[in-house]
Structure 1
Amino acid sequence: MRKMRVGLLAVVVCFMVTIVAFAADPVTITIWDFKYGDAGVQETMQKVDELVMQQNPGIKIEHVAQPNNEYYQLVRAAVQAGEGPDVVMFHGGVQAYEFDDYTLELDNYIQPWRDEISEFSWAFCSTGGDGSKPVHLVPITTQGMGIYYNKALFKQAGLDPDKAPADLAAFLDACEKLKQAGIVPITAGLQGAPYTVDFLFRTLVANIYGADTEALVTGGQSFAGNAGFMKAAEIVKELFQKGYMDPDGTSTPYFMDAANNFAAGKGAMFVGLLSDVCHWKVFSDGLGKDNVGYFPTINFPEAPYQDQQVGQPAGIGYSIMAWSKNPDAAAKVIEGYARGEGAAIWMGETGALSPNKNLDINKLGYPLVGEILKRSFNRDFVTLLTNEDANQNFDRYCAQAYVADEMTLEKFVEAAQGMLENAKDQ
């Protein structure tokens, strides 16, 4: 009996020592990302980190800001070395797919709360974007594009501030009335990459192909020979020819100058993002929560669909690297960003749209969020393209056709079709 008591005492002592050691030396999870260095974002991420650590006392988070301009080179270097952070932030899509062989499958970790995020997002975050394969990325934002408008400037031009243009005729009429009133109809950022044109095209494509955008890279749909796509190209050209695009746009970068101009009331409409930057929160804070209207696209007869919302299933997200020695703890960290109070803090303070359906958007106090999220998303065609086409070539074609005016619309359509052909070959 005495030996048994001594043995039990030894077990208890060992157990207590283990607890003390764990409490004194928590598991450290290192995160790399390209957002943490942003002054307006870091404070929010620190709040989420603190929350996650409070909820998981055995975890310590070491958040490392990496420079945007060489971020993926640094991740590739870590992969070559076979060591680095536990968790890495990726853009959803091709940038994440490049590292699928070096990131963990997450299905078992997300299984208890998977239904909080739509399969539209999870499929995009799976191996190579194939929803039948394992998930490698937990999305913390969704992305998309749409058209914001300044209600006060609409009213000043004699337009109904509470009524967004219903179709192309109404849109062009609004542009003309704004111009005649001395108001810039469309605040534009065209210097460097002409994102205003790029993003406008994506909103128009949503009306042309609806939920069938994936058929653009399987052969079921095309840009070439499609009357709707050619009409979209003509619409954008007309906006330039009639002076509806900001004449100073050619010398204005989209990020962040053009967005700041719109937020300061220098222009009536802006083709903006739904998340990350240049979005509903920035404009509502700048112009007033009740002074910003929104519509997802321009309806026109040649497009079979109306009021379609273009979206990306995942803007950014987190993956666990295969070399992590503490994947269970790492999974708790990224879960803390994707759901619950952490996701609410992230969305409420940064304006990043969370893909989590359980968040109460009414608590945010921004009516525009409900206006955006009342529509289901159709997949942004650019997410189907190869990396070079998605990030460089389409912007180059837009610049040549509209900013420099050195490419015919026929050649523009031909070049855009070439991007689809490249994607089919992948």
Structure 2
Amino acid sequence: MKKLTVVLCVLLMLTTAVWAGGKKDASGVKTITIWDFKCGSGASKVAMEQIDALIEKNNPDIKINHVAQPDGDNYYQLVRAAVQAGEGPDIIMFHGGVQAYEFDDYTLPLDKYISSWRSEIAEGNWAFCSENGDAKKPVHMVPLTTQGFGIYTNKALLKKAGIDPEKVPATKEEFLDNCKKLKAAGIAPIVGGFSGGPYTVDFLFRCFIANIYGDKVADLAKNVDFVGNAQFKEACEIMKELMTKYIDDEASSTVYFTDAGDNFAAGKGAMFIGLLSDVNNWKTFCDALGKDNVGYYPTVNFTNASNKNVQVLQPCGIGYSIMKWSKNPEAAARVLQAYGSGEGPAIFMGVTGALGVNKKADIKSLGYPIVGEILARKSALDVTNILTNEDANSNFDRYCTEAFVTGSISIDEFIKKCQTMLVNAREAR
């Protein structure tokens, strides 16, 4: 009965979207229907309502029908159902990377639509949003944000524990020593959240991998391995120590990741492993703790590693694509341009704190020093973007839980499972 209910709900939502999408009334006004998982609530809803109103003001022949959909696996099940039906909204939001590439056969090539403003966004971002991430192939998505992970710090709490709040730890030993000092001072070193998913572990491990492999992250899908890499094993050992001593603290318990972010914003811990462009980002924490009281560590550095302080910052966090079934692709393209160029990016970044990709955006005018610090850091690709969809969005989290949350598998078993993900990626190429 539960499965039947889900199917009926999906069909109902699809039917609604089909009726609403691509309409043109007697006055010639075209209704452009958008599906996304950001417009339902919070700051994103506020920002998108402002941008949609601006689009309709500047384009009297366009009416926006913005439909909020659930985030998570249910969202992509809904998109797959639309694809199977061959009907749905004009525009769909995707996460950048493998989740978008899955639908390349059903989204329009955008090169002719973006030609007049393409130069406002770096070619590296466009390449990531091209068919299967291949720069030689057509662009299929307009990137709205970049995305990454890092370690936010509460400078006041670091200082209280006798730690220089302006100094990024140069070594893992220094980082762990800071954690020890914080705990001795009665301060939770790292505020974490594990209910609903091991995001604290997942995000930090992706930071580790970026710093270990640097510009060779993409080569993990070719001929570079996890097995036999001393720094990768060292990362596992550090994670184990953090989970044993410094993350699973009173401020962490079994809360959800978003609630853990609220705890950090309330001053209940010194560090938080968070997103750079989504919930619990720099803006949330700066607004809560003070713009000059929030610091940032890009990662943890490893013994004898060739890279230092390399962060995860992928070329696209979320973006919009036009579906091939849209009856008004030109109008839909104007909607994408309004979100990717002009006032749109500034509105979205200023309201939500999501890091934009448009080079014309005035970062300094935001008034948050931490943004410039993040964007100035050397970055590497997020490892999940070279994995298969199943491994990137399901299996990796499961392995992180088994190895570091429940402890049901050993570090060596975790490394073998991660290596299997690389084998799967190579076989899928």
SS at match of 1:249: coil
| 2-structure distance, mates of 1:313, 1:404 | 33
Deviation for aligned residue 1:57: 2.3
Equivalent residues of 1:400, 1:406 under 8 A apart: yes
Residue 38 (1) aligns with residue 48 (2): no
Equivalent residues of 2:39, 2:66 under 8 A apart: yes
| 1-structure distance, mates of 2:396, 2:237 | 17
After superposition, the C-alpha distances for 1:371-408 in whole angstroms (9 at most, x for unaligned) are 10012421011111111111111111111111111211
Equivalent residues of 2:251, 2:269 under 8 A apart: no
Deviation for aligned residue 1:112: 1.8
Structure 1 231/352 Cα, relative in aligned 2: closer, same or farther at 3 Å? same
| 1-structure distance, mates of 2:345, 2:378 | 20
Amino acid at match of 1:276: D
Residue 13 of structure 1 aligns with which residue? none
Residue 4 of structure 1 aligns with which residue? none
SS at match of 1:360: coil
Amino acid at match of 1:108: K
Residue 304 of structure 1 aligns with which residue? 306
| 1-structure distance, mates of 2:178, 2:248 | 13
| 2-structure distance, mates of 1:405, 1:331 | 49
Alignment partner of 1:149 out of 145, 150, 153? 153
Deviation for aligned residue 1:347: 0.5
Equivalent residues of 1:139, 1:355 under 8 A apart: yes
Equivalent residues of 2:44, 2:352 under 8 A apart: yes
Alignment partner of 2:324 out of 322, 325, 342? 322
Equivalent residues of 2:108, 2:323 under 8 A apart: yes
Deviation for aligned residue 1:161: 2.0
Equivalent residues of 2:309, 2:378 under 8 A apart: no
Which consecutive residues of structure 1, in runs of 5 or more, have no partner in the other structure? 1-20
Residue 415 of structure 1 aligns with which residue? 417
Comparing 244-253 and 115-124, the one that deviates more: 244-253
Equivalent residues of 1:32, 1:63 under 8 A apart: yes
Residue 246 (1) aligns with residue 246 (2): no
Residue 195 (1) aligns with residue 199 (2): yes
Comparing 280-289 and 184-193, the one that deviates more: 184-193
| 2-structure distance, mates of 1:310, 1:190 | 21
Equivalent residues of 1:263, 1:287 under 8 A apart: yes
Residue 380 of structure 2 aligns with which residue? 378
Amino acid at match of 2:117: W
1:71-220 equivalent positions in 2, closer than 5 A: 71-219=75-223
SS at match of 2:115: helix
SS at match of 1:252: coil
Deviation for aligned residue 1:293: 0.3
Equivalent residues of 1:338, 1:356 under 8 A apart: yes
TM-score (norm 2): 0.91
After superposition, the C-alpha distances for 1:281-303 in whole angstroms (9 at most, x for unaligned) are 11111111110000101112242
Amino acid at match of 1:197: V
Alignment partner of 1:334 out of 329, 333, 336? 336
Comparing 102-111 and 63-72, the one that deviates more: 63-72
| 1-structure distance, mates of 2:78, 2:390 | 19
Deviation for aligned residue 1:248: 5.3
Alignment partner of 1:265 out of 257, 264, 267? 267
Deviation for aligned residue 1:159: 1.3
Alignment partner of 1:363 out of 348, 356, 365? 365
Percent identity reads 60
| 1-structure distance, mates of 2:85, 2:282 | 41
SS at match of 1:354: coil
| 1-structure distance, mates of 2:359, 2:64 | 26
Amino acid at match of 1:342: G
| 2-structure distance, mates of 1:193, 1:172 | 24
Alignment partner of 2:294 out of 286, 292, 295? 292
Comparing 78-87 and 320-329, the one that deviates more: 78-87
Equivalent residues of 2:111, 2:139 under 8 A apart: yes
SS at match of 2:295: strand
> Which of structures 1 and 2 has the bigger CA Rg?
1
After superposition, the C-alpha distances for 1:326-356 in whole angstroms (9 at most, x for unaligned) are 1111111011111221110001101111111
Comparing 133-142 and 30-39, the one that deviates more: 30-39
After superposition, the C-alpha distances for 1:186-241 in whole angstroms (9 at most, x for unaligned) are 1111223211111111111111111110100011x110001110111111112223
SS at match of 1:304: coil
Equivalent residues of 1:250, 1:403 under 8 A apart: no
Equivalent residues of 1:184, 1:245 under 8 A apart: no
RMSD over equivalenced CA pairs, Å = 1.6
Equivalent residues of 2:192, 2:247 under 8 A apart: no
After superposition, the C-alpha distances for 1:116-159 in whole angstroms (9 at most, x for unaligned) are 21222211111111111111111101100011000010111111
Which consecutive residues of structure 2, in runs of 5 or more, have no partner in the other structure? 1-23
Residue 61 of structure 1 aligns with which residue? 64
